[in-house]
């Protein structure tokens, strides 16, 4: 049985970004985004819908939603100090427009635009999957597709690159490090004395699940090399700038973990034809990189350590590798 504290959502590591918890943050996505933000520790939250109601002249694509009369000036609306992108919204044109307005106006979308501020307001983004698999025969657009649109719109309008304070969710090393942090916490609660040496990451998407696990495995290896070169005195530092601001997480993990094994299942985005091999032979190299702009493509990182049919087979494989079966 899985306890609630063992469940990691893509946005869970945001609770450790306490430097933003007191700021007024615009949140985008769908579902209970305001509640999710509050549960993560963010005290002052503005939704896209609240921003749209405060400034009805901003949302102009859908003609049926345009105000019929000129609305009175907006007063008392807080200055937005950052943006949280939880996941793909429902009305993309509205979110793309209003998020861009907030970035261009430095958090005051009702003000007349002077110079475009750069660097822009901090952006924390979760979920980078370009595509995901549902009941349809072909993959569906994910939040990575929305981020791609936002990045290109911002660059087209300003001539500059959209930058993220943090990218969270697979394949970001922040997410795997947070998972390690929670796993080690659970082990300590249960009085487990044996150090955890290996992590097993199971997923159905080579471009996010496998890529992220292998990227984190590379991070663990480089951290070990850093320790050896420093005489074992340093704690492992992140190879990715995405973890630079996460001191609590970095300090909370011990350095016993040596590797992260990737296990690819055939019940989602990835479908294997014929017999399911235990090892990835022939090599499962994707020719088109579906990953996020800020992650360099290395074909070897989409090669899973193992391919199995489903999650049950993956768990059984991990048990066998650890001599638990």
> pLDDT tens digits, residue range 261-280?
999 999 887 876 544 444 55
Q: What is the mean pLDDT of residues 7-29?
A: 92
Is the model more confident about 236 or about 213? 213
pLDDT tens-digit profile of 79-136? 999 999 999 999 999 999 999 999 999 999 988 888 999 999 999 999 998 988 789 9
pLDDT(241) > 60: no
| 29 HSE (CA, 13 A, CB side) | 25
From the list 30, 154, 32, 34, the residue with the least C-alpha distance to 102 is: 154
Residue 247 confidence (pLDDT): 44
**Mean residue pLDDT across the chain:** 87
Q: Within 13 Å of residue 55, how many CA atoms lie on the same side as its CB?
A: 23
Distance between CA atoms of residues 140 and 245, nearest Å: 32
Residue 293 confidence class, pLDDT cut points 50, 70, 90: very high
Task: Quote the CA–CA distance of 24 and 33 in Å, as a whole number.
Answer: 14
So what's the pLDDT on residue 44?
A: 98
pTM score, whole prediction: 0.80
CA dist., res. 3 & res. 17, Å (int): 24
- Supply the pLDDT for residue 60: 93
The pLDDT of residue 87 is: 97
pLDDT band, residue 64 (cuts 50/70/90): very high
Q: What is the pLDDT of residue 36?
A: 97
Instruction: Determine the pLDDT at residue 243.
Output: 43
Handedness of CA 186, 189, 194, 195 (dihedral sign): positive
Residue 321 and residue 133: Cα distance in Å, rounded? Answer: 29
Residue 310: pLDDT band (50, 70, 90) is: very high
Question: According to the model, what pLDDT value does residue 129 have?
Answer: 87
Residue 232 in this model has a pLDDT that exceeds 70: no
- Identify the pLDDT of residue 254: 62
Please compute the mean of the pLDDT values over residues 24-32 and round it to a whole number.
97
Phi first, then psi: give them for residue 125, nearest 5 degrees.
-120, 135
pLDDT confidence tier of residue 251, bands split at 50, 70 and 90: low
Q: Residue 230 has what pLDDT?
A: 76
Reported confidence tier of residue 240, pLDDT bands at 50, 70, 90 = very low
Instruction: Reply yes or no on whether the pLDDT at 49 is more than 90.
Output: yes
Rg of the chain on CA atoms, in Å: 22
Beta carbons of 289 and 228 less than 8 angstroms apart: no
Q: What is the mean pLDDT of residues 224-248?
A: 55
24-27 contacts at long range (C-beta below 8 A, 24 or more positions apart): 24/78, 24/79, 24/80, 24/81, 24/82, 24/107, 25/80, 25/81, 25/82, 25/83, 25/84, 26/51, 26/80, 26/82, 26/83, 26/84, 26/98, 26/99, 26/102, 27/83, 27/84, 27/86
More confident residue, 232 or 88: 88
All structural domains of the chain, each given as residue ranges with its CATH number in brackets, are 4-167 (3.40.50.1000), 173-229+246-322 (3.40.50)
């Amino acid at each position: 049985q899985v306890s609630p504290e063992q469940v990691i959502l893509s946005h869970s590591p945001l609770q450790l970004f306490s430097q933003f918890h007191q700021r007024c943050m615009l949140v985008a996505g769908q579902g209970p985004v305001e509640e999710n933000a509050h549960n993560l520790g963010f005290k002052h939250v503005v939704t896209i819908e609240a921003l749209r109601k405060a400034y009805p002249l901003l949302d102009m694509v859908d003609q049926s939603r345009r105000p019929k009369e000129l609305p009175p000036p907006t007063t008392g609306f807080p200055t937005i100090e950052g943006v949280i992108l939880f996941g793909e919204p429902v009305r993309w044109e509205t979110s793309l427009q209003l998020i861009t307005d907030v970035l261009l106006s430095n958090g005051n979308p009702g003000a007349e635009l002077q110079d475009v501020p750069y660097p822009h307001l901090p952006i924390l983004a979760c979920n980078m999957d370009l595509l995901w698999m549902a009941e349809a025969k072909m993959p569906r657009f994910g939040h990575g597709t929305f981020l791609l649109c936002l990045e290109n719109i911002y660059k087209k309008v300003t001539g500059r690159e959209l930058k993220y304070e943090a990218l969270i969710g697979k394949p970001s090393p922040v997410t795997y490090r947070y998972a390690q942090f929670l796993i080690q916490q659970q082990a300590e609660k249960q009085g487990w004395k044996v150090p955890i040496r290996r992590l097993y990451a199971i997923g159905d998407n080579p471009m996010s699940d496998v890529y992220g696990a292998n990227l984190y495995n590379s991070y663990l290896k480089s951290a070990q090399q850093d320790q050896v070169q420093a005489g074992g005195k340093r704690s492992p530092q992140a190879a990715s700038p995405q973890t630079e601001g996460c001191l609590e997480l970095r300090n909370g993990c011990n350095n016993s973990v040596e590797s992260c094994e990737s296990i690819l299942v055939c019940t989602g985005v990835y479908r294997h034809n014929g017999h399911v091999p235990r090892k990835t032979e022939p090599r499962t190299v994707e020719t088109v990189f579906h990953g996020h702009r800020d992650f360099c493509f290395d074909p070897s990182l989409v090669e899973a350590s193992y391919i199995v049919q489903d999650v049950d087979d993956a768990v059984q494989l991990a048990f066998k590798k650890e001599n638990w079966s």
